[in-house]
Amino acid sequence: MSTNTTTTTTITAGRWAIEPAHSEIGFTVRHLGLSKVRGRFNSFGGTVDIADHLHDSTIEVLIDLSSVDTNNDQRDGHLRSTDFFDLDTHPQMTFGSTSIEAAGSAGTIHGDLTINGVSRAVALNTEFHGVAADAYGTTRAGFSATGTISRKDFGVDFNVPLDAGGVLIGDKVTVELEIQIVPA
């Protein structure tokens, strides 16, 4: 079996599925204004419908909020509570694209992100990494995306004021995605 791959910059039209084993949806937020706390979601899925004209393509993503993982069980439990994600009422976060802009390998995906039943328009800066076949002949495509959201915009406004000024948890959350897709 050959392990050689050929990477191209052209993705074919059709339905693709996010391949979770080679993808990651992560985030960072400031703690005490001093350091970044990193987290990720371990359970998610979605589809990418590539149209003949890229700007007509669509992306739908569903994230299981109970899968939040910051490498700290106590913090993860707090994030699942009504102070943050309120899993009993809103167990999922969703994203649906509204438009896609591309220039070469860079672009922007605009869409609606829904957290805690609140939807807001967001923009994700993207980089397309190409298409390749793996050692088993499966065609794969990959891209990275980043964006920043205000958690307060989604009703996630729990915080603790600090004696010296400021707050315990930053409002701005950086979203970082490394996504690999395969034909659905």
Looking at domain 11-183, what is its CATH homologous superfamily?
Lipid/polyisoprenoid-binding, YceI-like (2.40.128.110)
pLDDT, residue 2, reads 43
| CB-CB contact of 18 with 61 (8 Å) | yes
Domain boundaries, the chain: 11-183
pLDDT tens-digit series, residues 121-173: 999 999 999 999 999 999 999 999 999 999 899 887 766 666 776 656 778 99
pTM over 0.85: yes
pLDDT, residue 7, reads 57
Output the DSSP codes for 80-112: HSTTTT-TTT--EEEEEEEEEEEETTEEEEEEE
pLDDT tens for the chain, residues 1 to 184: 444 455 566 788 999 999 999 999 999 998 877 789 999 999 999 999 999 988 899 999 999 999 999 999 998 999 999 888 999 999 999 999 999 999 888 999 999 999 999 999 999 999 999 999 999 999 999 999 999 999 899 887 766 666 776 656 778 999 999 999 999 9
Residues 6+ apart with CB under 8 A from 56: none
pLDDT, residue 9, reads 63
Residues 6+ apart with CB under 8 A from 147: 122, 123, 124, 125, 174, 175
